[in-house]
Amino acid sequence: MRDSRPFCVKYMNQYFHFKEVEMMGEGDDPLTGIDLDDEFLKGRIKGTNASNIFVNRGGWNCGHQFAPVALSMVPQDVLRRAFEKGYWQPGTEILEKYEVV
């Protein structure tokens, strides 16, 4: 897309745990936890929050989507990040299979 918002450009083609996407809905950067500034969120639908970010996405007429993917497609560093933040709590066999620990 030629006219993507800064929000979309920053986060597209990346992998996030759904709790991190919910952080985006609350206006927080999921990687740093820092509030996203108003300029960065320009075009956002008023009232976007953790409950509706999957529908509202980047704002009015946003053509992007959040899509679930198979665990095997998620890069190891993203799995490790989700595990370290406590968002993902798999059993030992899965941790070893995906070399998270």
Task: Check if the beta carbon of residue 88 is closer than 8 Å to that of residue 76.
Answer: no
Are 52 and 78 found together in one domain? no
Site of tokens 């986060």: 11
* pLDDT reported for residue 3: 79
Question: 0.85 exceeded by the pTM?
Answer: yes
State the Cα–Cα distance between residues 92 and 34, nearest whole angstrom: 32
**Mean pLDDT across 24-38:** 94
> Where do runs of H (alpha helix) occur along 41-100?
53-56, 76-84, 92-97
Domain region containing 31: 1-68
State the Cα–Cα distance between residues 44 and 58, nearest whole angstrom: 6
Are 15 and 56 found together in one domain? yes
Are 13 and 52 found together in one domain? yes
Are 47 and 16 found together in one domain? yes
* pLDDT reported for residue 2: 72
The number of distinct structural domains making up the chain is: 2
**Mean pLDDT across 13-42:** 94
- Give residue-wise pLDDT tens across range 65-95: 999 999 999 999 999 999 999 999 999 999 9
Are 53 and 21 found together in one domain? yes
| Percentage with pLDDT > 70 across the chain | 99
State the Cα–Cα distance between residues 59 and 73, nearest whole angstrom: 27
